A and B are shown apart, each in its own frame.
With several copies, the nearest count.
Chain A
Amino acid sequence: MSIEIRVQADELDALAEIAAVSAGDTRVGGVVSFVGLMRDLNQGDDIASMTLEHYPGMTEKALRKIVDEALERWELLGVRLVHRVGEVRPPDPIVVVAVAAAHRGEAFRACEFIIDFLKTRAPFWKRELKADGSQRWVDARSSDDAAAAGWGD
C-alpha cells in the first residue's frame, strides 16, 4: 500500500505521480487519476498567473484526513495526492490525485471523492493576476459544495 501526500512549491510532475501510484505492485488492475490544470481564462477574464496560498500544518492534516476517509470507504492499493502552492501559470498542474485499486469502480469513486473534498475542506486559496495587471481572490463555487455534499457523511 503506497500512500503519498505532499504540498509543494516546486513544479508538479503529474505524470510521475500517476506512474508512481502503481509502481512495483502487480496486484493493481486500474489507476484512476485527476489532474487539475491552471486555465488561462476564468469567469471571462484572461488570467496571466495565480498564487496559491495555504495554511501550513493544517493543510497536511486536512489532506491526510480526506485520504484516510477514502481508504476506509474503498479497497485501495495506493493513493498519491500532491498539491502545488506559490505562483503557477497556465497550463501548470495545480493538483494531482492518483488512485490505484484492483478494480476500477473503487478507484473512480475514491479519486473523485478525494478531489471533491479537497475542494471544500483543504485550506488553499487562489489569487489570480489578470492579464490587465489587476488581482483578485477566486471565489468558492457553490457547485463544489454540492459535489462534496453528494457523498453524504
Chain B
Amino acid sequence: MIRILYFASLRERLGSDGETVSDAPGSVAALRAALAARGGDWQQAFAGDQRVLVAVNQEMADDASLLKDGDEVGFFPPVTGG
C-alpha cells in the first residue's frame, strides 16, 4: 500500500488531495506512468511538460527512487516559499 498526496496547484488540477493505492509500483517513474495512464488532467500532469516534483517519505526524491509498501509519496509543483 502506498499513500499518495497532491499539493497546491497540482491538487486543484487533479481535484484530489491524495489517495491510497494498493499495489506498490517499483519506482516513482512507474507510479508516474500509472497515474498518467488515467488520461486527461492526469496525463497532462504526469506525462506532460510540466514540472512536478516528488518526495518519498517526506524527503525530496526523483524518478529513480524505489517505492516499497507503506511509503508516502508527495507530488507537488516547484516550491514558492520564503
Please determine if A and B sit in direct contact within the complex, based on CB atoms under 8 angstroms apart: yes
Contacting pair B82 A123 (CB below 8 A): no
Contacting pair B59 A121 (CB below 8 A): no
**Cα A62 to Cα B57 with chains together (Å):** 12
Chain A residues contacting B55 (CB-CB under 8 Å) are 55, 58, 123
Give the residue name and chain of the A residue nearest to B77 (CB): A125
Chain A residues contacting B58 (CB-CB under 8 Å) are 55, 57-58, 61-62
> What's the A-B contact tally at a CB cutoff of 8 Å?
74
Interface positions, chain B 1-19, Cβ under 8 Å from A, are 5, 7-9, 12
Partner of A137 from B9, B59, B81, B82 at Cβ < 8 Å: B9
Contacting pair B7 A125 (CB below 8 A): yes
Question: Which residues of B line the A interface, CB within 8 A?
Answer: 5, 7-9, 12, 55, 58-60, 74, 76-82
Question: Which residues of A line the B interface, CB within 8 A?
Answer: 36, 52-55, 57-58, 61-62, 83, 94-95, 115, 118-127, 137-141
